Chain A
Amino acid sequence: MKPPTLMRVGVVAVAAVLFMLVLGWWQTRDGDRQAAGILPLPINQMSFALTDQSGDTVQPKDWLGRPTMVFFGFTWCPDICPTTLSDISIWLEEIGPEADRMNTVLISVDPGRDTPEILGDYLSNFDPRIIGLTGPLPQIEQAVDGFRASFRKVPQDDGDYTMDHTAGVFLFDADGRFVSIIDYHEDYRYAVPKIRRALE
């Protein structure tokens, strides 16, 4: 066997670098999508039909005419979902009756477990203005896509599963235009003014 020539080493090195570049590109596509500022669609361009905890069908067009606040979660989530719901309940209380004219919506990313009844039961522990939506998985996927959000089912050791999901709270004005995102657990002093801006 011939020892590797300088030429061969060079070819292998170039190939390796190209491979890493492609791999890097492939791995950062999602990050780039966010960095490139891909924003949620305006509500009037979204399309899905889900069911709220009273059993009524809700479509994005039903939200138009009122400011809208939407977040994703699931009721089997022990940490961040109750925390987000409790944050939102505190924000709504701070804003007071003004927040009555807002759509405040939790979209479940776990329709397998979150039926409308289960959502209703769970949400009865939080601010009554929070509406919970669930429905067939393809409709949930379509909704999540409209927000440029994401979710994923993660199996656990005991055969159960949990969900990874976008944790921010999306704000839209009464015309359905995207206003801003409240990051997970964002300080109340920043969150409440963002909601007030959507209410203007």
Chain B
Amino acid sequence: MKRIFATLALIAAAGPALACETVTVGPLEVSQAWSRASIGTARPGVVYLTIRNSGTADDALMSITTPAADMPMLHQTVMTDGVASMPHAMEVPVPAEGQVALEPGGYHAMLMELTQVLEEGETFPVTLTFRDAGKVTIPVTIQNIGASEPTCPSPDE
């Protein structure tokens, strides 16, 4: 079953999945999902994106899944006296009438055990599970390994 799902997801990714897509679930809007190209599959990959909450209640991103990795996890880069560490984040808070970004040097989804090489220019789907709003899937644009910000414009622009 898991394999069928993964295959379907890959087909979905190979189909007309549009880069720079914005998806919504309940009061949440997810946009600017991007990743960096990988060298092989041994190293962990990363996913960054922006979540906006137009609702009046706080929500939280609880977990992510993707056919591109067997062990995706939410992490947060934290600086303590100039030393960077990367603890596992149990959840990423999405404040009411606010937004949160998974971005370099902060919250990010770490893709451990990549199942495929992440090729620049391609996309792969990531499904986000929110505590209250539920699940939503967004295509992630794979940018250059040296990219430091999304090429997709913010939905306002």
Contacts and interface: CB of A to CB of B under 8 A. Distances in A.
Contacts of B82: 34, 166-168, 181, 183-184
Contacts of A183: 82
Interface string A16-45: 000000000000001100100000000000
A157 interface: yes
Contacts, number: 84
B104 to A, nearest CB: 4
Given A79-B104, A121-B39, A165 B84 contact: yes
Interface residues of B, number: 31
A34, A150, A184: residue with the most chain B Cβ atoms closer than 10 Å? A184
The size class of the interface chain A forms with chain B is: 35 or more
A76 B84 contact: no
A181 B42 CA distance: 32
The interface centre, meaning the residue of B44, B45, B82, B110 with most chain A CB atoms within 10 A of its CB, is B82
Residue in A82, A122, A162 whose Cβ sees the most chain B Cβ within 10 Å: A82
B43 A75 contact: yes
A138 B113 CA distance: 30
A154 interface: yes
A185 B105 contact: yes
Interface string B36-50: 100100111110000
Given A79-B104, A80-B105, A185-B104, A165 B148 contact: no
Interface stretch (B10-18, B19-27, B71-79): B71-79
Interface in B99-131: 104-105, 108, 110-113
A85 interface: yes
Given A121-B39, A158-B113, A184-B79, A78 B84 contact: no
Contacts of B146: 82, 85-86, 89, 125-126
Interface in A66-124: 75-80, 82-83, 85-87, 89-90, 121-122
Given A121-B39, A122-B39, A125-B146, A78 B83 contact: no
A80 B43 contact: no
B148 to A, nearest CB: 4
Interface of A: 30-31, 34, 75-80, 82-83, 85-87, 89-90, 121-122, 125-126, 150-151, 154, 156-158, 160, 162, 164-168, 181, 183-185
